[in-house]
Amino acid sequence: MIRSVRLRNFKAWEDTGVVEFAPITGFFGANSAGKSSLMQFILMMKQTAEASDRALILNFGDDRSLVELGTFADAVYQHNQDLTIGLSLEWELPKPLRASVSHNGSDEVLETPTLGFELKVGANGNGRALVESFAYTIAHLHIGMVRKRRGNYELEVSPADVDLRRRPGRPAIISETIKCYGFPDMLRAAYDKSEVLADLPLEFERLFTRVYYLGPLRDQPKRRYAWAGAEPSSMGARGEEAVAALLAGRLRGKHLSLGKGKRRRSLEEIVAYWLEQLGMVEEFGVEEIAPGTNTYRVWLRTDRSARKVLLTDVGFGVSQVLPVLTLAYYAPAGSIIILEHPEIHLHPAVQSALADVLISAVQSRQLQIIVESHSEHFLRRLQRRIAEEHIRNDDVALYFCDRSGGRSRLSRLDVDLFGEISNWPEAFFGDEFDEMAQTDLAAARRRAAAEQ
């Protein structure tokens, strides 16, 4: 789980400050206030970690990527290439990491359940990204690489009385890093206690393999879906792999938990259960059109007396929420799921109930879910469930983004044990009272004009 992030000089953010994350983390606020940039940085790091090019410093993406950010000049704050983009990241490990080092000449084994990472990336004279420095924090040890005046890199370890025992004759200066977070093979060969130099980047990559993303624009529903048995690695940014994931889940034959005291169900049964709980359908299923065709259709029944219809023949809401429900239970337990506007095309009552889906998935599957939303109904349900003690207020981190003087600002909402927010921002979801007042004034004017 991501514990905290801090961004500097990235897109709209000069400095986010330390943003603490929780099992459910929500970002709200006006359009173009910087909410999406927070998600985009995580996605950029994911596609960097997964890139095959070891020399690629940051993968800003293209039209086939999760996120496309252009160039360093496009991504840096105010397009000022004299600035450095900075990242501070802390995350929990699936299991504690052990590292052997030399401390005051004696061997010492460090063990930690969390890792920290700091990165500074600048631009070279041609506008391409280059690493200024990166460093990991493991227990009390800081270990990383720093760019020197001639453009080469040197290993830095602190405190000064900790070392990795450099082998005689091996160089201390290296000409490159692996991407923006990795120690080169030549450096690892130069030290006796070099296992940590391999383990740290590996944990960094493992973190981002656990990140799954569903964007705000969903795929159009189809009358037919082809599936030849492959298991999709994700839901696709537009949810285009949702039906394939359902079928892959059927092939796996695994049954998943909906929480303590509830019977375990297949992925397809869980999705059908939640669609019913959301009040959207009575029945739901995926069936092959004819045996051996590898072509499937999604059907549903809106109420018990209705006939079965295809997904394409009902309102847009079911097809929009289907990838959200599927991803929440298809992604492996312990995953980090990023959802942009999961409430799109949903009725306000369904937007509220969607919060219950995410709470249940987080609690039963140890997920971390990061949400960008404009939905007051979604937020209000989270507050209610905190008050009802379905989820602790410490397990929810909510933020409000706004923009002032050309700069994005981030404020954490203070949510107490009763779900109440003590620092509710002005006009958080618009000015409802002003709308009501202006409506009353307009009505009064029309009545007065009609009486003349």
* Tens of pLDDT, residues 34-53: 889 999 999 999 999 999 99
Give the three-class secondary structure for 201. helix
Helices (H), 70-194: 72-75, 185-188
Residue 139 is encoded by which pair of tokens? 């227990």
| Mean pLDDT value of segment 55-72 | 93
Give the pLDDT band (50/70/90) at residue 436. low
Least confident of 43-52, 90-99, 217-226, 431-440: 431-440
Render 369-428 in DSSP notation, one character per residue. EEEE---HHHHHHHHHHHHTTSS-GGGEEEEEEEEETTEEEEEE--B-TTS-BTTPPTTB
Q: Does the pLDDT at position 259 exceed 90? A: no
d(CA 200, CA 99): 9
Q: Collapsing DSSP states into helix, strand and coil, what is residue 10? A: strand
Tell whether the model's pLDDT for residue 441 goes beyond 90: no
Which pLDDT value is given to residue 127? 78
Q: Is the pLDDT of residue 451 over 90?
A: no
**Contacting residues for 91 by C-beta, under 8 A, at least 6 apart:** 1, 2, 3, 114, 115, 207
| Mean of per-residue pLDDT scores for the chain | 90
Whole-number pLDDT of residue 437:
57
More confident site: 106 or 98? 98
pLDDT, residue 427, reads 65
Q: Token digits for 213?
A: 């993303």
Q: Tell me the residue type at 183.
A: F
Question: Residue 425 — very low, low, confident or very high, per pLDDT cuts 50/70/90?
Answer: confident
Contact 200, 136 (CB under 8 A): yes
pTM for this prediction: 0.92
Q: Which residues contact 450 (CB under 8 A, 6 or more apart)?
A: none
As a whole-number percent, the residues of the chain with pLDDT over 70 amount to 96
Task: Quote the tokens at residue 181.
Answer: 């977070």
Q: Tens digit of pLDDT for each residue in 193-247?
A: 778 899 999 999 999 999 999 999 889 999 999 999 999 999 999 999 999 999 9
Q: For residue 432, give both structure tokens.
A: 């409802």
Average pLDDT over residues 70-84: 94
- Mean pLDDT across the stretch 297-303? 93
Model confidence at 443, pLDDT cuts 50, 70, 90, reads confident
Question: Residues with Cβ < 8 Å from 280, sequence gap 6 or more?
Answer: 302, 317, 318, 321, 350
Confirm if 390 and 359 have CB atoms less than 8 A apart.
yes
Between CA 393 and CA 379 the distance in angstroms is: 13
Task: Give the HSE-up count for residue 196: Cα atoms under 13 Å, Cβ half-sphere.
Answer: 30
Task: Report the pLDDT value the prediction gives residue 169, as an integer from 0 to 100.
Answer: 67
- At 431, the pLDDT band (50, 70, 90 cuts) reads low
Give the SS3 label for residue 14: strand
Q: Kindly state the average pLDDT of the residues 266-281.
A: 95
Q: Give residue-wise pLDDT tens across range 383-394.
A: 999 999 999 999
Q: Determine the pLDDT at residue 150.
A: 79
**Over 80: is that where the pLDDT of 172 sits?**
no
φ/ψ of residue 275, rounded to 5: -60, -35
